[in-house]
Amino acid sequence: MPSVLITGASRGIGRSAAFAFAEAGWDLILLSRSEASLQSLATELASTGQRIVYGAVDLTKPEEIAPGVATLLSQGLTPSVLINNAGAAWTGGLLEMPLDRWNWLMQLNLTSVFQMCAAVVPAMRPVGGLVINISSHAARNAFPNWGAYCTVKAALASFTRCLAEEERAHGIRACTLTLGAVDTSLWDSPTVQSTFNRRAMLPAEHVAVTLLHLAQQPSTQIVEDLTLMPATGAF
């Protein structure tokens, strides 16, 4: 039975992915900051009949990640696929961004991905596996007032390519799902100021289907980067 580890699993893309994978017959390892939200999600997913383990880990706190992942993996499931989905955004002038907000964004969107891979990938090596890092088309573009987000997503794309090269000999594949705007609670965050039309954004459920498609690729091939954009254009 394949299993998937999803970060940021309690809402948005992560929540939709949990349902998509469970309904396709995957066991779930779920991680987010809120134990209560994870417990509620696990209750909703119980009808799928899949095994579900979960744990609360705050990815903005680097000291929590390795022990938190170790506790999750000690419950008997080794992921076939790791989806690094958790993330955040910040809007504002690049050089006016407070240093603590810069460090917070880099920790959550990049350093925690490195930490998750360091904690999970060694356990995947004996049988191989796949890492999917969720990025943004901001990695390839420069948007005013989104400079920090563009920077960190560009770094994430580079990290994924380097990871794929280093882990190929161990049977580990790594790819990026590059997204346009997705209608999630990110747009309700106090760190994001935007007037984008949310009705024109990608639904999280469609992103979840795409994640499942990537996860179901044969181990003999890899979609290195898949870009999914709203049909209305780039925003």
Chain position carrying tokens 């991905």: 113
**Per residue of the chain (235 residues), what is the pLDDT tens digit?**
899 999 999 999 999 999 999 999 999 999 999 999 999 999 999 999 999 999 999 999 999 999 999 999 999 999 999 999 999 988 899 999 999 999 999 999 999 999 999 999 999 999 999 999 999 998 999 988 989 999 999 999 999 999 999 999 999 999 999 998 887 766 567 876 776 777 778 899 999 999 999 999 999 999 999 999 998 865 5
Q: For residue 164, what are the CA distances in angstroms to 115, 123, 225?
A: 16, 16, 11
| Domain extent listing, the chain | 3-228
228 phi and psi angles, rounded to 5 deg: -125, 120
pLDDT of residue 92: 93
* Separation of alpha carbons 33 and 49, rounded Å: 24
pTM (predicted TM-score): 0.94
Q: 204 in helix, strand or coil?
A: helix
Within 8 A by CB and 6+ apart from 54, the residues are: 9, 28, 29, 30, 31, 32, 38, 39, 41, 42, 72
Architecture, CATH, for domain 3-228: 3-Layer(aba) Sandwich (3.40)
* Separation of alpha carbons 119 and 124, rounded Å: 10
Q: Is the dihedral of CA 58, 13, 133, 173 positive or negative?
A: positive
Q: 72 in helix, strand or coil?
A: helix
| 8 Å CB contact between 133 and 84 | yes
pLDDT of residue 165: 98
